[in-house]
Amino acid sequence: MSAFCALAFCLVASGAWGDSISIQNASFEQIAPTLPLQSPCNGPEFCAYNAGNPMPGWTIGGTNASAGQFEPSSFYLNLPLPDGSVVAYINSGSISQTLTGISLLPDSVYTLSVDVGRRFDVAAANYSLNLLDGANVFCTSGSNSNGTITAGTFADITLTCATGATVPAGLLGIELTGNGRQINFDNVQLNVTTSTVATPEPGALALTLLGLFVGGLLFLRSRRMQYLQSASS
């Protein structure tokens, strides 16, 4: 019975939980009314794009940055796209997003997943995926080439970062960078798994105690029935 009680309490008091972190305009489908997709592409097939801020949810940064949103046809990328009909592109600089009200958690693992694309008409360009603590990069994929991605397709690129017992105080952020012609991004996702060893919430503790009380009564009743059966035999 004591072992049962200890196990039940531990199941409530410790463990791990995982969660998906909300990202604004994660697939770049939201277009600012002041910057619609209207510029024609220089090519034989339809496409449309914009350039510069505002990009809802994201900030374009870097010296001589060149980035925006792009609605391609099958001349440029295989369709359908990973999510929706619009992607982000970067020629140089970065796009970033600060996750309002979300700070780094200790003893946690963050997984950033981004679909990175390579157009049919582009040989290769470099990119990186970064997680930010305020304005500082605390975890990076480093520079990678999309030349390893089959032309016209996207690859799901993942960055996994673990935190220790103590973490910086800044807000969590995402940064995607490009250094070359037409790196494309889509379907940005961020998940966190956190180890927890904590005192249960009062409600959870009350339910646990109630369960233990009922379990104890059932246990005592069972033992009493066994005793009475033994005595009568």
Dist CA 57 CA 228 (whole Å): 71
| pLDDT tens-digit readout, 148-180 | 999 999 999 999 999 999 998 889 999 999 999
pTM for the full model?
Answer: 0.77
Is 206 buried (19+), middle (13-18) or exposed (0-12) by CB count in 10 A? exposed
Confidence of residue 211 (pLDDT cuts 50, 70, 90): low
With respect to residue 162, please indicate whether it lies within any of the assigned structural domains: yes
Q: Which of 9, 6, 148, 146 is nearest to 89 (CA)?
A: 146
Residue 228 lies in a domain: no
The span from the CA of 73 to the CA of 149, in Å, is 19
Number of domains making up the chain: 1
Q: Is residue 225 part of a domain?
A: no
Is the residue at 215 inside a domain?
no
Instruction: Tell me what the pLDDT averaged over the chain comes to.
Output: 84
> Is 33 contained in some domain?
yes
* Tens-place pLDDT, residues 1-52: 444 444 444 444 445 667 999 999 999 999 999 999 988 876 667 889 999 9
In a domain? residue 223: no
Q: What is the pLDDT of residues 52-64, one digit of tens each?
A: 999 999 999 998 9
Is residue 166 one of the residues assigned to a domain? yes
Owning domain of residue 82: 15-198
